[in-house]
Structure 1
Amino acid sequence: MTSLSILPHISRFTGMHLSFVALISSLILSTSVLTAPLQKRDDPLVGYLATHFISNDEAIYQHISNGNNPLSFSALNGGNAVLRSTVGTEGARDPYLVSSPDNSNYWTIGTDLQIGKTNWGEAVRHGSRSIVVWHSTDLVNWGTNYLVEVEDPTAGMVWAPSAIYDESSQKYHVFWASQLFASDDPNHDGNPVTEHVIRTASTTDFKTFTNPETYLQTPGYAVIDQEFQKIDGEDNSFARFIKNETNSRVYQEISTDGIFGTWTRIGGAEGYVTDQGREGPASFRDNQDSSKYHLWLDNYGYQGGGRYEPYSTSNIKQGGYTADSMDLFPTNLRHGSVIPVTQSQYDALRAKI
């Protein structure tokens, strides 16, 4: 029985006056509101924070935009790493910065991988089954990092975690890429039973997770690097961006009934954002033009190291991305995420340049 459903029974069995029942109702409603997540603050958004890694250092780096310009950024911490993993492989790639609904908590999650200690063949068979996590309440001061094992023993690795908050369940759904091996192949010596698939689990605190499940499996090709983008003004509409690992191209899909709903490929089966090999999509809405969305793609082959390239569209449901100017765009950003920041956050972050 819900808290609200008990009120008629209180009145019927005790004969209390309706005004007293109304008082009880008010108190219960107040308690419900206090225990629910606060709504996201409506502070003006004045800039963007990019969290990423760089090719020659598998650690967490950050750039803060120069004003509300999504194509011009300054490096934090003098261009040095902001966070460095001290757990697991002591490497952190593909970072994703997660915000709580009320902007009171933040988590940076990333791939626990230092490729210099292994090789790509070993990394997909015997890689870490954990994600590396940092927590903050202000985007500036971060706690000690820790590992959380999110996969089961059949998984060969956990790559490129991302997350999205679900208001209905008040949980964060976390997604990553893995390939799976047979349960009777504990050493992963044989062929995998799946290509790279997208897996998921949920959490409320980024410490305890539900059992992992397969979220997306695409017969005939492998998929990695999934990221969601909430479409402004539509409660259940989302875009998602995924890398086809078999041909190294990023494609987009749209759902109008939630992240666990039905997805439609934009542009048909061959509707890739670009015909060139790219990965690590990072999507975010423009702070000044609510119809405009930005998409950064990691050109992982650039000069042997890789760098983000910026694209944008004014009709995210149709795609049609155009390449943006790179005249002011930094050259050393790779596979990460971008969030908007308020004036107080912006000022605190700029102080860390």
Structure 2
Amino acid sequence: MSLLRRSPLCALGVLPGLIGLLMAALVLLPAPRAQAAPVYGGYAMAYFTESNQGVGNNYGLHLAVSPDGLQWTPLNQNAPVVTPTAGTKGLRDPFILRKQDGTFTILATDLNGTNWGETNQYIHAWDSTDLRSFTNYRRLKVHSLAATHAWAPEAFWDASRQQYAIIYSANNGTRDVIMATYTTDFVTLSAAQVYFDPGFGIIDANVVTGVNGTNYLYYKRGNELYGAKSTSLAPGSFNNATYTGPVAHGGTEAPVLVKSLSGSTWYLWGDTYTPNGVFYAWQTGDLAAGNWTPVDQRAYTQPLNSKHAGITPITTAELNGMKSAWGTPSWNRLKSYNHPDRYVRHSNFAGRIDAYPFDPYADSQWKIVPGLADGSGVSFESVNYPGQFLRHSAYSIVLNTNDKSATFAADATFYPTAGLGDSSAVSYRSFNYPTRYLRHSDYQLRIDPLTASSPATDRQDATFLV
């Protein structure tokens, strides 16, 4: 006020009039709008690949999409869309963060393979506007601890700090804990500090924020998953807040929490910590209660050979753009309906269903082409043995080279029908033996007579999920 009293403009009565005009103008200006939250129409998954004998190992960034977060379509023929060019030149544990401006940053462990004893203070990072191009590749030094790692980096927005927290697993000299460093731009980072240390060794933290005023942190301890919750995101706030019992299917790691787009259901994903790489899913209608029940394996299918995924919701336009940019597979896999851990494959040129994963994994990849004997039917061409098809021979299913004969074409042609065991799935009726259907029996594939009145087990044996 003293400055106003000394102002000659004020003395002339000019300044109060200017202030009045400015205030009136400001009232007429539209209020600034917060960026509208995206309307999500699906999910993107980032992962790397390993198979149980190493045939499918690839430590680049892979992507898949899903409309429901359960059934996943790998992109780019399940090949990497980008590969690190510095550090170890390989990645594990990729994570996709949608930032406050709507663009993405991708983080990943800098590790090419399974050398768990390797010391590394860095993680990989890329930026992306649309998950179709990846720019500004760099490695971020997240800590200065000696003789330890920086595994499974993830990030979240901490509104109270107006900063992003990058969290990751590292050893503090006594045990593995979750460390954190803070940033606004994923270039300049704060000094590292311990974020979560419940007093025992843990790795693989996944955080979701602001769910009805509560934040959740899920982690791996031993061979099991646990959840903690807190109303704060401050370092140490989750230390004494574990609220769930263990969740596991065998040895399980890499928890990922995913909210359904169509309801109140939450899904918890985890995968086996061995190179076998099988995802399992649990669900709950009440995240705060933390009571998880297994999801029927018929309901979900992971991308082929995928390991330690990061999952984020995306818009329908983003999902379609990713599919257009990277392409969807030219092949399919067929899952057994009543043994959903098993897939149709050839082994020693015999058709059968085997528990996933297995190598060579390409034994389970099929090009479903127009029927050789009738284009309204289908035939199954092997991906790793092009020109060879599943056919029946003495009612058993074998893989043979197409000899171009009418008999071969007829034996290798099947009509898709509504699933005999579940009409939402599919069954395959033989072209030249129209009362017989493709089925498994003692895990061997064959064609047998089946009708709507056949035993339920037999009808389910003849039902598949593509």
**Fold equivalence (TM over 0.5):** yes
The one of 205, 229, 243 equivalent to 1:254 is: 229
* Inter-partner Cα distance in structure 1 for 2:18 and 2:41: 47
Q: What is the DSSP-based 3-state SS (H/G/I as helix, E as strand, rest coil) of the residue aligned with 2:322? A: helix
Aligned-partner SS, 1:349: helix
Letter in 2 for 1:141: S
- For residues 10 and 257 of structure 1, the distance between their equivalents in structure 2, rounded to whole angstroms, comes to 44
Q: CA deviation at 1:24?
A: 5.8
Contact 2:197 2:236 in 1 (8 A): no
| TM-score normalised by L of structure 2 | 0.61
Q: 1:242 to 1:64 in 2, by over 3 A?
A: same
For the pair 1:131 / 2:132, whether they are aligned, the reply is no
Where does the alignment leave 5 or more consecutive residues of structure 2 unmatched?
51-56, 328-466
Matches within 5 A, 1:1-353: 15=10, 16-17=15-16, 20=19, 23=22, 38-39=34-35, 41-55=36-50, 56-65=57-66, 67=67, 69-103=68-102, 105-115=103-113, 119-120=115-116, 122-123=117-118, 127-154=119-146, 156-180=148-172, 193-219=173-199, 221-232=200-211, 234=212, 236-244=213-221, 247-260=222-235, 262-263=237-238, 264-267=241-244, 271-274=245-248, 276-289=250-263, 291-301=264-274, 304-327=275-298, 328-330=300-302, 331-351=304-324, 352-353=326-327
Question: How has the CA–CA distance of structure 1 residues 249 and 258 changed in structure 2, closer, same or farther, with 3 Å as cutoff?
Answer: same
In the TM superposition, what whole-angstrom CA distance separates every residue of 1:68-122 from its partner, at most 9, and x where no partner exists? x22111111111111211110011100111111231x211100001136xx32x3
Count of matched residue positions in the alignment of Structure 1 and Structure 2: 310
Name the SS of the counterpart of 1:81 in structure 2.
coil
Quote the offset at 1:273 in angstroms: 2.0
Cα distance between partner residues in 2 of 1:12 and 1:309 = 73
Deviation at 1:170, TM superposition (A): 2.3
- Residues 71 and 325, structure 1, Cα contact 8 Å, conserved in 2: no
Partners of 2:169 and 2:85 in 1: how far apart? 23
Identity %: 25
- Aligned Cα RMSD in Å? 2.8
Q: Aligned partners of 1:298 and 1:22: how far apart in 2?
A: 64
Where relative contact order (Cα < 8 A, 6+ residues apart) is larger, the structure is 1
**Aligned residue type for 1:326:** Q
The CA deviation at 1:43 is: 3.8
Distance in 2 between residues matched to 1:257 and 1:144, nearest whole Å: 32
1:345–1:223 CA distance, 2 compared to 1 (3 A): same
Structure-1 separation of matches of 2:257 and 2:24 = 43
TM-score, normalised with respect to structure 1: 0.79
Q: 2:193 and 2:88 mapped to 1: Cα distance? A: 25
CA contact (8 A) 2:107 2:153 kept: yes
- Checking the alignment, whether the CA contact within 8 Å between 1:249 and 1:274 is kept in structure 2 is yes
Q: Distance in 1 between matches of 2:223 and 2:89?
A: 27
Is the CA contact (8 Å cut-off) linking 1:11 and 1:18 kept in structure 2?
Answer: no
Which has the larger strand fraction?
Answer: 2
- Offset at residue 154 of structure 1 (A): 2.7
